[in-house]
Chains A and B, each alone.
Chain A
Amino acid sequence: MNVEALLLSLRLALCVSAILFVLGMPLAYWLAYSRRRWKFLVEALVALPLVLPPTVLGFYMLLAMGPHGPLGKFWYAAFGHGLAFTFAGLVIASVLYSFPFAVQPLVASFETVDRKLLDASAILGANRMRTFRCVILPLSVPGIITALVLSFAHTLGEFGVVLMVGGNLPGVTRTVSIDIYDHVQSLDYAGASHTALFLLLISFAVLSAVYGINRRASRRAWPTWSVK
């Protein structure tokens, strides 16, 4: 079993879910509460990675990261080297790839917050930031956890995009799914299933831990005034 690849995948998934958390919050807030007419266009754009094959997304990323692509040009100017075949490149590609998995649960949970509570908060003199912090956020804890877990899990299992922009460098871009694929390619099915089984167990453990926590959190988040 390739521990290096496993650790790399975990590191990638952690980075990506942290970045998605930071980027996803304001965007999800905007998507949930904005009344702009063209909001549906942004919604469609956010959902695009759900529909696009990862290899297509990966291929566009590869072109964008090249010396003539916008990302690649910027990266060359800033750091003096290319973006493809680097860990940073993988992070950027994965953030795009997992975007809907973070944003959509956040939007859904923001939208279910009772309108009356927001009105009450406003009437009591809280500004939008304070309402967000004290009303929306606590009521959205299950959605936030779901968003974090889904982006983490989705990145952990990512294959097509990594294959397209990674270049399979041990310790840099050889993630666990690529490693499993390589084992299968070399007809080392035993090696592949060892790693795959371990990945399966980790994923199941992480998911059930989170859903367990989520279950308690959602019970706690239930408005107390509705319980007699």
Chain B
Amino acid sequence: MSATLDGTFQVSEFVRFSPCCLLLLSAILTLRPANAQDIRVAAAADLEFALEDLTAQYAKQTGKQVKVSYGSSGNFFAQIQSGAPFDLFMSADIAYARKLETTGLAEPGTLYQYAFGRVVIWMPENARVDLANIGWKALLEPSVEKIAIANPEHAPYGRAAVAALRNAGIYDQVRSKLVYGENIAQAAQFIVSGNAQAGIIALSLGASPAMRTGKRWEIPANMHPPIEQAAVILKSAKDKEGARAFLAFVKSSAGRRILESYGFNLPAAHGNSGATNQ
């Protein structure tokens, strides 16, 4: 309202418009964005596409809605410590889930390792590199000026990427090409936008519409520390039973099949400490 700047704004105008403003304001304030019945999940960024499918299937079976917030596990960990209103936390790094357990913020015995992350070298479809056949060597090509990875200081996929590069013996050669995304999804964004010519990211992100067509080469699992992903029910959960039921669905064979189809490796069905299966 530049009118205030040149002083021509009239009180009468304000009176005329205020009923409209009030009406709009009350409409905005009375809108209820989330149903109190919904299960609220904080999930790692690499779960985005798998969870969309999982929650849709779950809603179809039970009629219960699951509302998922995606982000970096470290952020969620900090937020949960400050009382963020989630029922279930699906971390990309089991360490965060364990830490919640030891600090008494998680329901004891609910920790469940739902998947192992798989790591791929990803390049755009139009890259003139035979990624499938040369694997690692693609990263040494002069046409690859920047390689996007997640920040190894705190993101599990970033740590895995650096470990794998070291094990392949090319870390020192590609080090100056590395750029860090805040999380794995942002690293992917650097490649999709064309600013980085290659990246080391989660296979599960390959399900995104923007990445489906790219070239990928999976890094053997023995080249990096395992990316153990684990979920835990929070002590502050409003709907513990709902969270338990959804977690049980994730553990069920239907849930496992979905996770697998989106590019996760599964832990053995037994030997997983956690809540008893329903």
A residues neighboring B (CB under 8 Å): 40, 43, 59, 62-63, 65-69, 72, 81-82, 84-85, 108, 111, 163-164, 167-169, 181-182, 184-187
Contact = CB atoms under 8 A, between A and B. Distances in A.
Contacts of A82: 145-146, 195
B5 A108 contact: yes
B195 A182 contact: no
24 contacts: A40-B2, A62-B189, A62-B190, A66-B195, A67-B194, A68-B194, A82-B146, A84-B146, A85-B195, A111-B5, A163-B186, A164-B186, A167-B146, A167-B181, A168-B151, A169-B179, A182-B151, A182-B154, A184-B75, A185-B151, A185-B154, A187-B74, A187-B77, A187-B99
Given A40-B2, A167-B181, 4 more contacts: A66-B194, A167-B146, A167-B190, A187-B74
Contacts, number: 72
A85 B78 contact: no
Nearest to B77: A187
Contacts of A67: 194-195
Nearest to A64: B193
A186 B153 contact: yes
Q: Which 7 A-B pairs have the closest CB atoms?
A: A167-B179, A168-B180, A66-B194, A84-B195, A185-B154, A185-B74, A186-B154
A184 B71 CA distance: 14
A156 B75 CA distance: 22
Interface residues of B, number: 26
Nearest to B154: A185
A168 B179 contact: yes
Nearest to B190: A167
B72 interface: yes
Contacts of A164: 186
Contacts of B194: 66-69, 72
Interface in B50-109: 72, 74-75, 77-78, 99
A167 B196 CA distance: 10
- Among the interface residues A59, A82, A111, which one has the most CB atoms of the partner chain B within 10 A? A82
Contact of B74 (A43, A59, A108, A184): A184
Contacts of B78: 184, 187
Nearest to B75: A185
Given A82-B145, A168-B179, A168-B180, A65 B153 contact: no
Contacts of B146: 82, 84-85, 167
Contact of A62 (B5, B72, B99, B195): B195
Contacts of A169: 179-180
Contacts of A81: 145
A185 B153 contact: yes
Nearest to A192: B78
B234 interface: no
A216 B148 CA distance: 50
